[in-house]
A and B are shown apart, each in its own frame.
Chain A
Amino acid sequence: MIDLVINIVLIVIPIMLGYFFGRRIERRHYESIREREAQFASLMTTALKQPLEPQKVVTAELVSGSVVISIDYFKRFLAGLRNFFGGNITAYESLVDRARREAILRMKESAAGADEIINIRIETSSISKNSSKGNIGSVEVLAYGTALKY
């Protein structure tokens, strides 16, 4: 009986911690993403292979940005339930959305003084402790492109 209680506590505590801290971390991260996105809104980024104004280009340079973001326990628990019933797993949607936007922002930050970034490629890979089990623990997103100066 005591064993059962201890087991339940060991499962419930990480989920509660994940719920309280995870939500706070995510909200703060989204605030910071929105703020920096507004700041970099004027830097044109495209997935095109040609510059918008080819005749003005002076230098071209490879730039990249990457981030590894982990999901919290509460969301992992929710996703486990969703796996059973099927449907959108919103918990993971916001995880990869945050990671992609953060990676793009870091790429933009590393391209100081650029006027345009072209041919952006975004690559996502999952990093997990037990990759054999196939559970997504955390994702790595790499964004890269060619920064142009006019």
Chain B
Amino acid sequence: MQLTNIETIPGKTIMAHYGIVSGSTVRAKHAGRDIMAGFKNIFGGELKAYTELLSESREEALARMQEQAKSLGANAIVNVRFSTSSVAAGAAELYVYGTAVSVE
């Protein structure tokens, strides 16, 4: 599965469009990680646990989107966009969407 966030795949011709595909995950923060993050809040700096948590969740959303595209018979997704929204305090939704296409 080939992914790009531009309208085409350079050097390839798009044969068919399958419409929009998307994947999302809603993740809550882990209590233990939250306590560590509380300490980090005093000193500042990177919250590695959160960075990992969010990138894992985003991978998950990407995998779900690719699965959906595969079931449609697509072999590439173009114009991929990420979006993040906080649903409730302590939980974040990670959403990814794009257009499923098949290229030669």
A and B from one complex: yes
The smallest beta-carbon distance between A10 and chain B, in angstroms, is 12
Assess the B82–A61 pair: CB atoms within 8 A.
no
Quick check: which of B14-22, B35-43, B67-75 contacts chain A, the rest being far away?
A: B35-43
The smallest beta-carbon distance between B30 and chain A, in angstroms, is 13
Q: Give B1-15 as 1s and 0s: 1 = Cβ < 8 Å from A's Cβ atoms.
A: 011111101110000
Interface of B is mostly: mixed
CA distance A131 to B7 in the complex (A): 35
Please give me the residue from chain A that is nearest to B46 by CB atom.
A69
Assess the A118–B47 pair: CB atoms within 8 A.
no
Assess the B37–A57 pair: CB atoms within 8 A.
no
Assess the B82–A64 pair: CB atoms within 8 A.
yes
The smallest beta-carbon distance between A70 and chain B, in angstroms, is 5
Quick check: which of A20-28, A35-43, A78-86 contacts chain B, the rest being far away?
A: A20-28
CA distance A68 to B54 in the complex (A): 9
Size band of the interface chain A makes with B: 35 or more
CA distance A70 to B44 in the complex (A): 5
Assess the A69–B43 pair: CB atoms within 8 A.
no
Binding site for A on B (CB under 8 A): 2-7, 9-11, 34, 37-38, 40-47, 50-51, 54-55, 58, 80-86, 89-90, 92
Binding site for B on A (CB under 8 A): 14, 17-18, 21-22, 25-26, 29, 49-51, 54, 57-58, 60-62, 64, 66-73, 75, 102, 118-119, 121, 123, 125, 127, 129-132, 137-138, 140, 142, 144-146, 148
